[in-house]
Chains A and B, each alone.
Chain A
């Protein structure tokens, strides 16, 4: 398979995407935003929100995919983990939301040829990783069950999601390699 991302002679970073591929990425971008965007309905200064904010069970994500995107910072100290979450989770959600928006904007302004600035590439890497984390966790991917999921019948939604996941992996790997070459 050719590299997904490549550099032009003048050093620009480019990926060519057809309409279907662009629409898949746009849709993933919208889903990630819906999934992680901070809930602006709740104001942190609202006494009720503060009450909810200090309730361990109310704020630690129950959904495994969300828990993977917004992990605990302390393993054996729930109070410290919750304090950390109260101070950092909103900013983490905003970062991930911003990455997704950056991807959507680049797709919006581009035709089949999508050219990315340095800053946009960092956002694409973060977005591709967040998308893979969300999908990989949802389909229960482990170190050794990839082929098992790939062999599931077509009507099993996990099989289709794995195809999409593998394509995102291919895109991310391609973009990471360009950056590793730059850094080395």
Chain B
């Protein structure tokens, strides 16, 4: 298979720029399921149903994407999660 290198590069750069950033909360053995739900409801203002779905994703799948947006906005969300003691990182959406 052959792809014209210059075009390929240009396309992927554009795609990368357009992708939003996301905040991911990771599972850990210590945070309580109820506390994670409480944090999602308190900080993100999610209703209990949505907060519990995301909490269960963290618990069962090992991670959940809890917010998306600009890199700066995600850094604020990650800092907030850290202040609550949740294990969170930000990255480009994949």
**Bound: A179/B75 CA distance, A:** 26
Q: Is A132 an interface residue (CB 8 A)?
A: yes
The answer to the question of B2 belonging to the interface, with a C-beta cut-off of 8 Å to chain A, is: no
Give chain B interface residues in 12-60, CB to chain A under 8 Å.
28-32, 34-35, 37-38, 41-42, 48
Q: Which of A75, A84, A183 sits near B91, CB closer than 8 Å?
A: A75
Cβ of B34 and Cβ of A176 under 8 Å apart?
Answer: yes
Chain B residues in 8 Å Cβ range of A142: 29
Contact of A113 with B by CB under 8 A: no
Contact A176 B29 (CB under 8 A): no
A125 at the interface (CB under 8 A from B): yes
Report chain A residues within 8 Å CB of B82.
70-71, 73, 88, 92
For B32, list chain A residues within 8 Å (CB).
Answer: 169, 172-173, 176
When distances are taken between beta carbons in the complex, the residues of chain B under 8 Å from A72 are: 89
Q: B34 touching A129 by the CB < 8 A rule?
A: no
A176 to B75, CA, bound (A): 26
Q: Does A13 contact B (CB under 8 A)?
A: no
Q: Is the CB of B83 within 8 A of A92?
A: yes
Task: State the main secondary structure of chain A at its contact with B.
Answer: helix
A69 CB contacts on chain B under 8 angstroms:
85
Chain B: interface residue total (CB-CB under 8 A)? 24
The A-B contact count (CB < 8 A) is: 79
Min C-beta distance of A146 to chain B, whole Å = 9
How many Å lie between the Cα of A136 and that of B79 in the bound state? 22
Q: Is the CB of B75 within 8 A of A73?
A: yes
16 contacts between A and B (CB under 8 A): A71-B88, A71-B89, A73-B79, A73-B89, A74-B89, A74-B90, A75-B91, A96-B83, A125-B35, A129-B35, A129-B84, A142-B29, A143-B29, A176-B32, A177-B34, A183-B42
Given contacts A84-B79, A172-B32, A180-B48, 16 further A-B contacts (CB under 8 A): A71-B89, A73-B78, A73-B88, A75-B91, A92-B79, A92-B83, A126-B85, A129-B31, A129-B35, A129-B84, A136-B29, A141-B29, A173-B35, A176-B34, A180-B34, A180-B41
- Chain A residues at the B interface, C-beta cutoff of 8 Å: 68-76, 84, 88, 91-92, 95-96, 125-126, 129-130, 132-133, 136-137, 141-143, 169, 172-173, 176-177, 179-180, 183-184
